[in-house]
Structure 1
Amino acid sequence: MFYWFLKHVAIGPIVRVVFRPQATGTEHVPRRGGAILASNHLAASDWIFMPLVLRRRVTFLAKAEYFTAPGVKGFLQRIFFGGSGQVPIDRTSADAAENALTTGVRILGEGKLLGIYPEGTRSPDGRLFRGKTGVARMTLETGCPVIPVAMVPGRSFTLLGRKLTRVDVVVGEPLDFSRYEGMSGDRFVERSITDEIMYEIMLLSGQEYVDLYGAKVKKSMDTTGASAVEVVGRLQPPPHEAADRLPSSLAG
């Protein structure tokens, strides 16, 4: 009920009026059954736009801090994030990755739509960064299709003194990895699947691909004070002319 209220009364109408998001390819999302919506991640507000343009409810994995803060603010956060389709994940524990996988598999097993960001963090500079293999493990263990999704920035505008950007949502055709059935845990297979997913997101979004983890780039930015472009230039060797936009496992 709260999810419906946010989407159709509290937040949805305002976002539609202000940002006027356009969506293409929504027919690729199945009407029922589990599926993984794998998207690029450009801004903290991305999780609003995807559910807004889809009929079905989308569940996201969110950091547990949103659900454990004390006081009135913490109480309101728990209500908001819990009611808006977020599931808490403790990202500070040693088993954080495994816990996220287990939770994701459970959600998919319940026949729900799971929204995830394979990059694992927001893009440091608007480019598309290397995906983590959790998305591959989930599709292999559940047999659910992966649907690539792209948040595509449109024109910018100013509202009440703040610069805002329109966002369009592009949904690609489902990716079927049943040919790898029974190969969960094979890191080469999981890497190949993940790179294929990121390649499809790259095609939908039009972003330049960087074959580095975004979190690693951000960490280097914090410690050195360098820009994302400088960090990437230092960490990533010059690309081959024919493969400068491909994940490493697809570059041939």
Structure 2
Amino acid sequence: MNPLEHARSHWRTVVGKTLWWAAEKYAYPDIIVSDETRENTMALGAHLDRGGSALVIPNHLSGDDIPLEQAYLIDALGTSIQRLTAPVGKKQFDGREGFFNAAVLHALPYIGVERPLLVQGYDTGKYDPELTKRLRDLAFYITNRTLHTPGGLLMYPPEGTRSKDGKLQRARLGVGHVIIDYLLNSTSESPPAIIVPAAIIPTGKFSRSFNWKYSKRPLDPLEIRIGQGVPMDQLSYNFNPREITADCMQLLKGMMPSHMHGFYASK
């Protein structure tokens, strides 16, 4: 690792640990992390330490669920994470869902998190098609680079947008294309990549915006679940993004309670 990447990794660790400490102590009513999740997190860290990379696929319920999972993983894994990437929506980055949300996304590179921009499918009419394509191509370049970096960790929510009812929605095909891109560009020297399902599980009332304890209405604790890693090349190996995405959602479904299965309840 070059000196700049080394410094960035340490700075990201300091910031992430601070944010996780603040989240546990002050910001949230309670955060539940089971022994099984801690064991799976340690296994993920060992994989990264051996020079592997990982694609973390979380569900998406609220504006703060993915940042909360990032803070947990940074706190738990520290400098085992050599590169951290989390694509974000152009709409949110532009402040169309609030100034605070946009400010956080603008600040991510300063704490060592790459955040390639993507125009979400429902929002393409708001942006020039050429810009949409350029952003998509750049995002695929960055995500592919992360998965080909020893110790690289990519967080990519397959659903793309927040669930309206707390249940799994039909996934978009982006995650399937990311996996195909990795497989097609892999060589014998590429780091072995795994897919790790992750989920936020509400224990009662939760907010689609922020779940802080100082909310206007009482909110219940959240549970963070991290699943076991699955080698990426064990998924459907016919380079069909729809089938690969479906495989990913089965991994995610398998670690969630049945009342949250939503679109995938009967699949």
TM-score (norm 1): 0.68
- CA offsets, 1:120-179, max 9 Å, x none? 111111110112222222223324221111111124599444433322121222223425
**Does the 8 Å CA contact 1:68/1:78 hold for their aligned counterparts?**
no
* Equivalent position to 1:121, from 141, 145, 161: 161
Deviation for aligned residue 1:46: 1.1
* Equivalent position to 2:196, from 131, 136, 147: 147
Question: Would you say 1:245 and 2:260 are equivalent positions?
Answer: no
* Equivalent position to 2:256, from 205, 210, 222: 205
**Does the 8 Å CA contact 1:37/1:147 hold for their aligned counterparts?**
yes
Higher mean Cα deviation, 162-171 or 90-99? Answer: 90-99
Q: Number of paired residues?
A: 207
* Equivalent position to 1:31, from 39, 48, 52: 48
Tell me which residue corresponds to 1:234: none
Separation in structure 1 between the aligned mates of residue 141 and residue 237 of structure 2, nearest angstrom: 17
Amino acid at match of 1:209: G
**Does the 8 Å CA contact 1:21/1:49 hold for their aligned counterparts?**
no
1:108 and 1:60, CA in 2 relative to 1: closer, same or farther beyond 3 A?
same
SS for the counterpart of 1:193 is helix
Question: Would you say 1:83 and 2:110 are equivalent positions?
Answer: yes
1:16 and 1:61, CA in 2 relative to 1: closer, same or farther beyond 3 A?
same
Deviation for aligned residue 1:2: 4.5
**Does the 8 Å CA contact 2:195/2:229 hold for their aligned counterparts?**
yes
Question: Would you say 1:6 and 2:45 are equivalent positions?
Answer: no
1:172 and 1:66, CA in 2 relative to 1: closer, same or farther beyond 3 A?
same
Q: Percent identity?
A: 19
Tell me which residue corresponds to 2:243: 192
**Does the 8 Å CA contact 1:28/1:171 hold for their aligned counterparts?**
no
Show structure 2 runs of 5+ residues with no match.
1-9, 120-126, 184-192, 207-211
Tell me which protein shows more helix as a share of its residues.
2
Tell me which residue corresponds to 1:224: none
**Does the 8 Å CA contact 2:205/2:218 hold for their aligned counterparts?**
yes
1:77 and 1:204, CA in 2 relative to 1: closer, same or farther beyond 3 A?
closer
1:15 and 1:139, CA in 2 relative to 1: closer, same or farther beyond 3 A?
same
TM-score (norm 2): 0.65
Question: Would you say 1:165 and 2:199 are equivalent positions?
Answer: no
Tell me which residue corresponds to 2:61: 42
Deviation for aligned residue 1:98: 3.8
Separation in structure 2 between the aligned mates of residue 147 and residue 202 of structure 1, nearest angstrom: 12
Q: Give the RMSD, CA atoms, in angstroms.
A: 3.2
Higher RCO (CA-CA < 8 Å; seq separation 6+): 2
* Equivalent position to 1:15, from 11, 18, 23: 23
- CA offsets, 1:164-211, max 9 Å, x none? 332212122222342569744xxxx32112111111211212212316
Show structure 1 runs of 5+ residues with no match.
212-243, 247-252
Separation in structure 1 between the aligned mates of residue 100 and residue 235 of structure 2, nearest angstrom: 45
- CA offsets, 1:64-99, max 9 Å, x none? 466667xx9899656622234141314243314444
SS for the counterpart of 1:150 is strand
Tell me which protein shows more strand as a share of its residues.
1
